Amino acid sequence: MVRYPYRTPMEEQTTDVIQGTLDMLILKTLSLEPMHGFGISRRIEQVSRGVFKVNPGSLLTAFQRLERAGLIDAEWRQTENSRRAKFYKLTRAGRKQLDLETADWTRRVTAVARLLKAEG
Amino acid sequence: MSLWRRLARGVRALALRAAADRELSDEVAHFIDESTAAHIAGGMAPAEARRAAMLEIGNATVVREQVRGAGWESAVESLFTDLRYAGRVLRKSPVFTIVTMFVIALGTGAVTTIFSATNAMLLRPLPGARDASALVSIDRKHRNGKEGMSASYPFYAELRDKSHAFDGVAAWHDVPLTVTIGGAGTLAYGNAVSGNYFTVLGVRPEIGRFFAPDEDRTPLTHPVMVISDGFWRASFGADSSVIGRSVQVNGHPFTIIGVVPRAFRGVYIPLKSDAWVPAMMLPQLRPGHSLADVVDNPFRMFARLKPGVSRESARQETSVLTAAWVASGAEPMPWAKNYVDARLVPLSGLPEDATNAIVGFFFLLLGASALVLLIASVNVAALLSARAVARGREMAVRAALGARRGRLVRQLLTESLLLFALGATGGILIAVLATRALQQLPLPDEISLDLAPDYRVIAFALIVALVTGVVFGLAPALRAARTDISKRIRDDSPSGGVRSSTAGNALVVGQLALSLLLLVAAGLFLRALERGNRIDPGFDATGVSVATLNAESWGYDTVKAHAFFTALRARLEATAGVTTVSYTDVAPLTAQSSGGRMHLDGPDAAGSADASGPGTPVRANYVDAGFFAALHIPIVRGDPIQRRDDERSTKVAVINETLAAKIAADGNALGRTFTYDDEKITIAGIARDAKYAWLTEDRTPFVYFPIAQHWLPRQVVLVRGTLPDNQMALAIARAVQSIDRGLPSPVVTTLRDANSIVLLPQRVAAMVTGALGAIGLIMATVGLYGVISYSVNRRRREIGIRVALGARQTDVLGMVVREGMKLATLGVGAGLLLAAAATRLMAGLLFNVSPLDLVTFAGMSLLFLAIAFVSSYLPARRAAASDPMTALRTD
C-alpha cells in the first residue's frame, strides 16, 4: 500500500468517485497537461464516460492537499477565452507518486478481478 | 521538503488569511463560470445554466470552509478564535474572572512557593556549574555506612592521583578570611580549594582568570585569590580594574586574579562564599596547619565522572582506594581505621548528611501546599459549574446553530485553561514575593538562601495550572455542553437542581475537611513552638550578646591573639552596662556540638572501671572564666572555670549533673580524675544540667574545659549586660576595633536570636501551614457561604410558603442554619479523621506534643464550627427577613 502523508478526509465517502482514488485521478489527468479545476472535473467526467462525477468541494480540497504535499503546483494564468484561472500542473514528485499509485491500483484491480472470476 | 512546504504554506495561509480566502473565492467563482459556460454550450439558457452550475457546486461557502478546514493551520486558527472568544467572555464578567483568578493564584502560588524553595534547596543541579549531573560528592564513610569523615590533604591527593573514573577530583574547605582593603578589614567567607576546583566544576570566570595548574603545586608560592560576584560588587563597586590588585588576606598580600559569575554560589549553596584561594596557601592563612598532616582533615571532595563511567563503578574504585589507604597505615589515628568505605552522591549543593532531613521536611510542606491547591481548584470547579448552569441557554443556542458538542467542550476548556494560565501568572508573582519573605528568616550570618523561582519553577507552575485546569475544568465543561437542546431552551429555570447541590455539598465538605487538616497541622506546630519556647534550656539567654572572633583569620599568631582576647575582656568589662564577659568555643543551643570519649580513673557509679575500655562518650565545650556567671548556670558543687585555670595550672574540668551521677552514685564526683584526648583532667566543679546543642536532647553527659588550657584561635565572646541589644552590638564592635583598627567589624547577635535556629523548622512549618490553612479556611468558608446562599435562593418560594403558613423567623433561621451546620459537621468529622491519620508524619518535629493533641484538635474543630455557623447564619437571616409575598411573586 502506498501512502503519502495526509489524511483522507471523511467527505470523500460521499462522492461518486471510488474512495481514495480521487487523488490518483487528478494526478493522472494532470499528467497529460496543466489544467484548471473545472477542466479537471470535466475531463474526469468525460474520460470515465460519466461514471465518475466529482463533487467540486472535494476537488478543491484535494487540490490544496496535493499542493501541500508537493505533488502538484498551481499558478494563475489566462485561459483560452482570456480569463484568469488557477492552473495546476504535476511536479516531479507528483509524477513519481502517480506511477506508484497506478502500479498499486493495477495490482489490486487484477487481484480483485481474479477473485471475482474464481467466484464465478 | 514536503513537511517544510506544508508548514510554509500553512503559515502563509495564516498570515495572509484574506489573500488566501480571496484566491479561493476566485477559484470557486471561476469554477462556476466555466461550469455555466459548459452548460450553455450544452444548450441551456444562460440563467438556467448558471442555476445548474450553482446547484452542482452546492453552497460555495461550505466548499470554501471545507477547503479551509483541510489544512493544519485551521486548527491553530480555531484555537486563536477560542482564545479570543474566551478572553471576551472573561472580560464580560469581570467579577467572576477576578475572583476565580485570585483563587487560582492563591492555590498555585502556595504550591509554587514551596516548590521554588524545594527546587532551590534540593532539585536543581548545582547552579553555575557546567553539566552538573556528572558531578558527584565523594564522602569517606565508616564501615557501618553511617558516619562520614572529611578528608586530609594527603588522602585527597591519593584519590586524585590514583583514581581513573573521574575527569578530575577536587577538594575544598571553608576558611574565614579577613580581607583588608585600604586599611579596613572585611570578613569574607573563604574557600581553600584545590587548583582544579573551577575546572572540575566547569565554571568560567566572569572577568579575569581562575587558578593555573602551577598555582596549586607548591606551598606558599602563589598568593592569588578569586572573589565572588557579590563581594566584587560590595567591596570593589564592580570595578573591573580589580584584577591584578593586591589586598591583604589574613595579614598577607594576595593578588586578585578573577571574579566568579553571579550564578555560582559555591559547592554548598546555603553557605556564603566570598572568596577562593589555593589550598597550597593554607599554612599562611591558618598558621600551624600543614597540608602534609593526615590528622588534620578539613577537606570535602567532589569529582566529575568520566563520560560513560557509572557512579557505582566509580564508587567501587574509590572504596578500593580508600581501603588500600587505610591498610597502608598512612594514618596514625586509631579511630580512622574504620573509615574504609566511600559513598558517591550527586553534588547537589547540600551536605550529604543534611539532605534526608531536609527532603522529609520539604515534602511535608509540599503536601500541605498541594492541599491548598486542591481546595482552591475545588472552589474554581464550583464557580465554573455555577457559571455553566447560568450559561445553559447560551450553550443551547450555540448547539442549535450547529456547534458540535466536542467543539463546545473545547471552547469551554479553553476558557478554563485561560483562567488557570492567568491565575498561574498571579501564582508565580505570589511565589516571587513569598520566597523573598522566606529569605528574611533569621538565619546565622554565614548562611544565605536564594529561593527565587527559576525557569523550572515557572514551567512547574504552568504545568500545574494546565493539569488542574483540565482536571477541574473538564467536568463543568462537559456538563455545560450537554446537547439536549430542546429541554435546555425550554427550561428557563436555573436547572440542575438537586443534583448540582449534592455535588456542591460534597465539594464543600471536602474543602472543610482539607482546610481543617491544614489548620490542625498548623496548630500542632504552634503548640510545638510554644512548648519549645517553654522548655527550660538550663541557662538564661536574656541580655546576652555573642560574636564570633577568629584571630586566625586576622593573621594573628598565638601571642598576639592571646593579648587581643585579654585586652578585649578588659575593655568590655570596663564598659558601662556590661556585667559579665566570657569566651567559649561554641555558643550554647545553636545546633552545634562536639565531643569525645572520657576514660575515668577508678570505678564509676555502677562500680565498673573502664580506664582501659572504650570510654564514656561525652559532649564537650571549651569555656572561659565567667561563663557560668554570664549564662546564670548554677554550679551545684565545687568551682566554676576560673581565671587561675590557665595553661600553667592543673588541667581541670566542670562536668554536668548527669555525668556526675554516672561517675559517683551520690553525684559527688569532685576531685575524681579522667583521661580525655590523652590528658589527665581533674573534676573541679559540677554544673546544673542544660540544653547544649538542641532542645530535643535529654540528660546529655557534658564536660566544660577551660579555654585557657586548650588554646583556640577562634572564640565566641559572650557578653551579659544591661545595654539595649543594638548598643551592646555597637559597644562590642567598638571595643574590638579600638584594639586593632584593621579588624573587620564583628557580627554581633543576641544569644536569643542565635538560639532561635533550633526552633527554625517548627517556626517555618507553623508559618507555612498556618498561612496555607488560613487560605484554605477562607476558601472553604466562602464555599460554604456560597452553597447555603444558593440553596436559600433556590428555596425562596418554599420559605415564602412556610412563612405564609405561619412559620416564625426563628424556624426559618434554624432550618437554614441546620443545613449549614450539617455540612460543617460532616466536613469537620472527615477533617478530624484525615488529620488523625496524617499528623503522625510530623511527630518528629513536635517536641513530644502528641500528634493527636486534644487541645489542637478540639480547638480547631470549634473554630471551624463557629465560622460555619456565621457563614450559614448570614444567608439564613436574609431568608428569614424576606417578605413572603415578594418571594411568592417572583418566578
User: For residue A58, which residues of chain B lie inside 8 Å, CB to CB?
Assistant: 66
**A chain contacts of residue B24, beta-carbon cutoff 8 Å:** 60
Task: Write down the pLDDT at residue B22.
Answer: 79
Shortest CA distance from A8: residue in chain B: B70
- Confidence band for B508, pLDDT divided at 50, 70 and 90: confident
Task: Give the start-end residues of each E strand in B71-164.
Answer: 135-141, 148-149
What's residue B848's pLDDT?
80
Which comes out higher in pLDDT, residue B168 or B348?
Answer: B168
pLDDT category of residue B2 using cuts at 50, 70 and 90:
low
Alpha-carbon span B307 to B790, nearest angstrom: 64
Which of A57, A68, A85 has its CB closest to that of B66?
A: A57
Mean pLDDT over residues B643-647, rounded?
Answer: 89
**ipTM of this complex:** 0.76
Our CA-based measurement puts residue B483 at a distance from the nearest CA of chain A, in whole angstroms, of 23
What backbone torsions phi and psi does residue B279 show, to the nearest 5 degrees?
-55, -30
Three-class SS state of B592: coil
Task: Test B38 with A38 for CB contact under 8 angstroms.
Answer: yes
| Contact call for A38 and B10, based on CB within 8 A | no
Indicate the pLDDT class of residue A49, thresholds 50, 70 and 90. Answer: confident
pLDDT band at residue B543 using 50, 70 and 90 as cut-offs: very high
Residue from A12, A13, A23, A38 to probe the interface with B (highest B Cβ count within 10 Å): A38
Q: Are B494 and B796 in contact (CB under 8 A)?
A: no
With a cut of 50, say whether residue A1 has pLDDT above it: no
CB burial of B495-531 (b: ≥16 within 10 Å; e: otherwise) equals: ebeeebeebbbebbbbbbbbbbbbbbbbbbbbbbbeb
Q: Per the domain annotation, does A24 fall within a domain?
A: yes
Q: Give Cα B77 to chain centroid, integer Å.
A: 42
Q: Which residue of A has its CA nearest to B32?
A: A38
Chain-chain contact of B70 with A67 (C-beta, under 8 angstroms): no
Instruction: Specify the higher pLDDT residue, B42 or B640.
Output: B640
Total number of domains constituting chain A: 1
Q: Is the pLDDT of residue B889 over 80?
A: no
pLDDT at res. A18? 66
Residues of chain A neighbouring B28 (CB-CB closer than 8 A): 56, 60
Neighbours of A94 (CB within 10 A): 23
pLDDT at position B611, please? 59
pLDDT per residue as tens digits for the range B791-826:
887 777 788 888 888 888 888 888 889 988 999 999
Q: Could A70 and B28 be called an inter-chain contact, meaning their C-beta atoms sit closer than 8 Å?
A: no
Grid cell 602563589 is found at: B222
Question: What integer pLDDT is reported at residue A7 of this predicted model?
Answer: 42
Give the pLDDT of residue A70: 83
Per-residue confidence (pLDDT) for residue B495, from 0 to 100 = 43
Of the ranges B143-152, B269-278, B516-525, B697-706, which one carries the lowest mean pLDDT score? B143-152
Q: Select, from the ranges A37-51, B107-121, B588-602, the one with the highest average predicted confidence (pLDDT).
A: B107-121
- DSSP letter at B122? I
- The phi, psi pair for B598, rounded to 5°, reads -110, 145
pLDDT of residue B240 exceeding 60, the answer is yes
Candidates A40, A42, A68: best to mutate against B (most CBs of B within 10 A) is: A68
Model confidence band, residue B651 (pLDDT cutoffs 50, 70, 90): very high
Least Cα separation, residue B786 to chain A (angstroms): 47
Q: State pLDDT tens for residues B623-635.
A: 999 999 999 999 9
Considering the domain boundaries, does residue A12 fall inside one? no
Report whether pLDDT(B342) > 70.
yes
Q: How far is A57 from chain B (nearest CA, A)?
A: 5
In the prediction, which pLDDT does B739 show? 94
Confidence class of residue A6 from pLDDT cuts 50, 70 and 90? Answer: very low
Given a cut of 50, whether residue A15 has pLDDT beyond it is no
- Residue B177 corresponds to which amino acid? L
In a domain, A90, yes or no: yes
Name which of B34, B35, B65 to mutate to probe chain A: the one with the most chain A Cβ atoms within 10 A of its Cβ.
Answer: B34
Of A94-108, B381-395, B457-471, B826-840, minimum mean pLDDT range: B381-395
Number of Cβ within 10 Å of residue B19's Cβ equals: 11
Tens digit of each residue's pLDDT (9 = 90 or more) over B174-187: 888 999 988 888 88
Q: What pLDDT digit, counting tens, does each position of B291-334 carry?
A: 888 888 889 999 999 999 999 999 999 999 999 999 998 888 87
- CB within 8 Å: B23 and A37: no
pLDDT at A10: 41
Residue A47 lies in a domain: yes
pLDDT at B269 over 90: no
- Whether B28 and A60 lie within 8 Å, measured CB to CB: yes
CB pair distance less than 8 Å for A56 and B26:
no
Residue A4, pLDDT above cutoff 50:
no
Domain map (residue ranges) of chain B? 2-71, 132-347, 355-533+760-889, 544-721
Flag if B5 and A37 touch (Cβ within 8 Å): no
pLDDT of residue B686 exceeding 50:
yes
**Length of chain B in residues, anyone?**
891
B5: nearest CA in chain A?
A: A68
Residue A14's pLDDT is what?
Answer: 38
Q: CB–CB of B57 and A86 under 8 A? A: no
pLDDT at A120 over 60: no
Would the pLDDT of B441 be above 50?
A: yes
**Averaged pLDDT, B770-788:** 84
Residue of A nearest to B71 (CA): A65
Instruction: Write the pLDDT tens digit of every residue in B94-132.
Output: 888 888 899 899 999 999 999 998 888 888 888 888 888
- Find the CB nearest B62 among A9, A57, A67: A57
Closest by CA position to B707, among listed B818, B525, B584: B584
Contacts of B446 by beta carbon, 8 Å cutoff, 6+ apart: B189, B271, B272
Q: Between B224 and A6, whose confidence is greater?
A: B224
Mean pLDDT of B859-873: 91
pLDDT at B251: 87
Q: Indicate the range of A42-51, B12-21, B371-380 predicted with least confidence.
A: B12-21
Tell me which chain B residue has its CA closest to the CA of residue A57. Answer: B63
Q: Quick one: average pLDDT of B566-578?
A: 95
Q: How far is A72 from chain B (nearest CA, A)?
A: 11
Q: What is the percent of chain A where pLDDT is above 90?
A: 4
CATH classification of the domain holding A93: 1.10.10.10
Q: What is the pLDDT of residue B687?
A: 96
Grid cell, residue B490, equals 425550554
Average pLDDT over residues B282-299: 85
Residues of B in contact with A80 (CB under 8 A): none
Under 8 Å CB-to-CB from A38, ≥6 apart: which residues?
B30, B31, B34, B35, B38
CA distance B157 to B429: 48
pLDDT at B492: 47
Q: Which residues pair with A84 in a beta bridge?
A: A78
What is the reported pLDDT for B857? 92
A 20-79 near B (Cβ less than 8 A): 36-39, 41-42, 55-58, 60-61, 64-65, 67-70
**pLDDT recorded at residue A5:** 44
Cβ contacts of B617 within 8 Å, gap of 6 or more: B595, B596, B597, B701
What value does the mean pLDDT take over residues B465-473?
Answer: 88
What number is the average pLDDT over the span A100-114?
A: 90
- A56 neighbourhood in chain B, CB within 8 Å: 28, 31, 56-58, 63
